[in-house]
Amino acid sequence: MSAQVAAIKAGKKSGIHWGRLLWTVFVVLYLISFTKNLFGDVAGSQAAIPVIYFTLWLAWLGMEFYLNALFFQSSLVPRFNPWLKAAFAVYFYGLQGLAGWDAFSGTQIHFVYPLFNIIGLVIFAAGIIIRLWSLITYLRLKDRQKILSSRPWQMSAHPRYIGMLGIMFAVPLVFFSPWAMLATVVLGLPLWYLSIRFEKRELVKKWGKIYEDYCKTAPLRLRLKR
């Protein structure tokens, strides 16, 4: 048996999808390099923060793509409402362009720079960690009782959405963009809430009384202590 065949079999046993992994790493690294060059030209001496932001952004979405997850929903409901998915994607991808434009060509507010921008990066990173932690927990456990008893789902009834909420409000802070904040409040929050409502209805159908009983005690907001 050749070394290549052995490596492929080892990858299948370990659950590593090498083709998808290599493609993800290649695309993420290429886009990080592109982003670095872009903001080096556009932002000059202030390029560090947007470069760090988009590096985290690309690494996060790369991980979600590799794990075959829905980018902005929880993945507990695979067949998600297509209109909600599309609307949220338009809002979130549009938010990146709006925030970047506002920071470097729009209102160009630099209040107490870079304090609020760094706070935004910290919140952004925390949101990513919560989303990925919840996703990996879900994929590892699979059993509904174990999932609902796990730490992420004891902290919040919708930990993946709580992480997304942090990300949504972090973007305007990273770029200190009032227009991006307005878009998040007016468009992002209603879409976020409607997504949770849709998922809750679907999970009640999927998991039944176990989920209904769980929802009676689990908070929507983040609960750090049990």
Per-residue pLDDT tens digits for 190-212: 999 999 999 999 999 988 888 98
Q: What is the pLDDT of residues 57-97, one digit of tens each?
A: 999 999 999 998 988 888 888 788 899 999 999 999 999 99
Nearest Cα to 39, choosing from 108, 28, 178, 31?
31
* Residues in contact with 63: Cβ distance below 8 Å, sequence separation at least 6, in sequence order: 132
Going from the N-terminus, what domains does the chain have, and what CATH number goes with each? 3-217 (1.20.120)
Q: Which residue has the tokens 């409402």?
A: 81
Is the separation of the CB atoms in 76 and 150 below 8 Å? Answer: no
Measured CA to CA, the distance from residue 160 to residue 117 in angstroms comes to: 23
What is the percent of the chain where pLDDT is above 90? 58
Judge whether residue 164 has pLDDT over 90: yes
Nearest Cα to 195, choosing from 222, 161, 225, 166?
161
Q: What is the pLDDT of residues 49-61, one digit of tens each?
A: 999 999 999 999 9
Task: Take residue 89 and report the two structure tokens written for it.
Answer: 């994607």
Q: What is the DSSP letter of 72?
A: S
Q: What is the pTM of this model?
A: 0.88
Measured CA to CA, the distance from residue 119 to residue 105 in angstroms comes to: 22
